[in-house]
């Protein structure tokens, strides 16, 4: 969410930003919000002047009564009443304009970082760097669900009967591997100085609209019928929400948290053949990281966050690469974003396993997360990144650690979480 003062003073910058995100249908909103903002401020100015005038007249009533001028006092009371009625109309206008301004401002996209490449969609994202050597073995790698089935590790049919498509039962060593990866990721982030947290798995609507755009909300969130509660699509939502309506002392920053949670997503849209199995599902578990920091420190934390994910995957012998998300692929609140993609030997290409985002002060402005600094109060910056989401991580892990005889190697760092096992067989 952009500062209304910035929009008021830089309408052309905001319009160009909208064009850079290929959302030209939103261009008229800039002029509309400027007009409504002007009317809102005019109504507020008149209301303030009228309020001062009414208060001044009200003080005269007591003096007139003390002087025995009851008739004049009564006439003055009538004048105060008339002023109050006029003020009520202005206050209602001011409220109406302010609500309209806020509604539009929630739709206008955040100003992207100058370093973000301009492009229409994810097909124009830019590769930054590769980590590890992508290898294609000289034996055929089965689809990930086939690998799991050989270990009696997954049951999609039973899950379909119980909950429908997009759900699964994980069993035996595959289920254990899933939990081991989560536990390892938790300890990995704790060792890097992050505070571990298990957050609420449901959040109220004011938190939802504080952390994401309306379009994202509609595409992702499951609502609890009859209650003002939504199931979280990622623990970032409730983790950032933890700081709603707070003023943080500057010397207490940064806040660095890593969280475990189940995640629930509608996952609307068509799914290709490579998105079957556990690639795109309605329920999964994830280890997340978030940072609340001073504005000048958010670029530094952005680089640290995505590097954490790269380091974790490399510690599990999985090659990865980073992609800079182009302007058209950025959600409206994001200033800058990098995807981490893991190598798939079966597909002979990389696929997304995590996303790191800097949201500037957009979430903080919506949720009123402020910092008390030496020169006054200001809005914090918020960032988030996926540590690991095991359903997709399982795909990358199984494909990259599969042997020709069908066994799966367990890297040394993960063996303590698997009861000392060196292989799944």
β-sheet bridge partners, residue 222: 231
Domain ranges (residues) in the chain: 4-105, 122-424
Q: What is the pLDDT of residues 162-190, one digit of tens each?
A: 998 889 999 999 999 999 999 999 999 99
Is 411's pLDDT higher than 80?
A: yes
Would you say the CATH fold of 122-424 matches that of 4-105? no
Task: Identify the CATH class of 122-424.
Answer: alpha beta
- The topology under which CATH files domain 4-105 is Helix Hairpins (1.10.287)
C-alpha distances (whole Å) from 411 to each of 323, 400, 422 are: 26, 11, 7
Q: Which residues contact 229 (CB under 8 A, 6 or more apart)?
A: 202, 203, 204, 223
**pTM for this entry:** 0.88
- Calculate ∠ Cα 212-218-223, nearest 5°: 95
Q: For residues 183 and 196, give the distance between their C-alpha atoms in angstroms, rounded to a whole number.
A: 11
How many CB atoms within 10 Å of residue 411? 16
Q: For residues 315 and 411, give the distance between their C-alpha atoms in angstroms, rounded to a whole number.
A: 8
Q: Which residues contact 301 (CB under 8 A, 6 or more apart)?
A: 254, 291, 293, 358, 383
Size of the chain, expressed as the number of residues it contains: 425
- Whole-number average pLDDT of the chain: 91
Mean per-residue pLDDT, 44-55: 79
Residue among 384, 327, 322, 362 nearest 124 (CA): 327
| Rg of the chain (C-alpha set) | 27
Q: What is the pLDDT of residues 213-243, one digit of tens each?
A: 777 777 788 999 999 999 999 999 999 999 9
Q: Are the C-beta atoms of 239 and 196 separated by less than 8 Å?
A: no
Banded pLDDT at 271 (limits 50, 70, 90): low
How many CB atoms within 10 Å of residue 56? 11
Mean per-residue pLDDT, 92-116: 92
Q: Is the dihedral of CA 279, 283, 284, 289 positive or negative?
A: positive
Is 37's pLDDT higher than 70?
A: yes
pLDDT score of 267: 75
pLDDT score of 269: 53
């Amino acid at each position: 969410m952009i500062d209304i003062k910035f929009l008021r003073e830089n309408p052309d910058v905001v319009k160009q930003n909208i064009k850079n995100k290929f959302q030209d249908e939103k261009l008229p909103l800039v002029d509309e919000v400027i007009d409504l903002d002007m009317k809102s401020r005019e109504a507020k100015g008149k209301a303030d002047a009228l309020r001062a005038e009414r208060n001044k007249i009200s003080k005269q009533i007591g003096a007139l009564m003390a002087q025995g001028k009851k008739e004049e006092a009564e006439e003055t009371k009538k004048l105060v009443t008339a002023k109050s009625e006029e003020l009520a109309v202005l206050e209602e206008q001011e409220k109406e304009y302010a609500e309209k301004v806020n509604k539009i401002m929630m739709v206008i996209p955040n100003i992207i970082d100058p370093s973000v490449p301009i492009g229409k969609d994810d097909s124009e994202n830019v590769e930054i760097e590769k980590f590890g050597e992508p290898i294609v073995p000289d034996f055929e790698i089965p689809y990930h669900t086939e690998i799991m089935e050989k270990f009696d590790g997954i049951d999609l049919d039973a899950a379909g009967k119980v909950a429908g498509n997009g759900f699964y039962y994980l069993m035996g060593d595959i289920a254990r591997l899933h939990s081991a990866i989560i536990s390892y990721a938790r300890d990995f982030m704790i060792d890097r100085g992050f505070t571990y947290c298990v957050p609420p798995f449901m959040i109220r609507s004011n938190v939802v609209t504080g952390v994401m755009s309306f379009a994202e909300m509609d595409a992702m969130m499951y609502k609890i019928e009859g209650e003002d509660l939504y199931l979280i699509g990622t623990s970032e939502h409730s983790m950032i929400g933890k700081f709603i309506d707070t003023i943080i002392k500057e010397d207490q920053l940064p806040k660095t948290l890593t969280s475990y949670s189940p995640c629930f997503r509608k996952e609307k849209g068509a799914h290709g053949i490579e998105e079957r199995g556990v690639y795109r599902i309605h329920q999964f578990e994830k280890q997340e990281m978030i940072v609340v920091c001073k504005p000048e420190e958010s670029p530094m934390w952005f680089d640290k966050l995505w590097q954490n994910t790269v380091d974790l995957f490399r510690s599990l012998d999985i090659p990865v690469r980073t992609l800079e998300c182009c302007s058209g692929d950025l959600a409206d609140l994001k200033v800058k974003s990098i995807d981490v993609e893991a190598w798939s030997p079966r597909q002979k290409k990389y696929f997304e396993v995590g996303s790191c985002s800097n949201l500037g002060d957009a979430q903080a402005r919506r949720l009123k997360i402020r910092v008390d600094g030496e020169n006054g109060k200001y809005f914090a910056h918020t960032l988030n990144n996926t540590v690991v989401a095991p359903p997709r991580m399982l795909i990358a892990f199984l494909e990259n650690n599969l042997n020709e005889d069908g066994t799966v190697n367990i890297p040394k760092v993960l063996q303590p979480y698997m009861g000392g096992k060196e292989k799944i067989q």
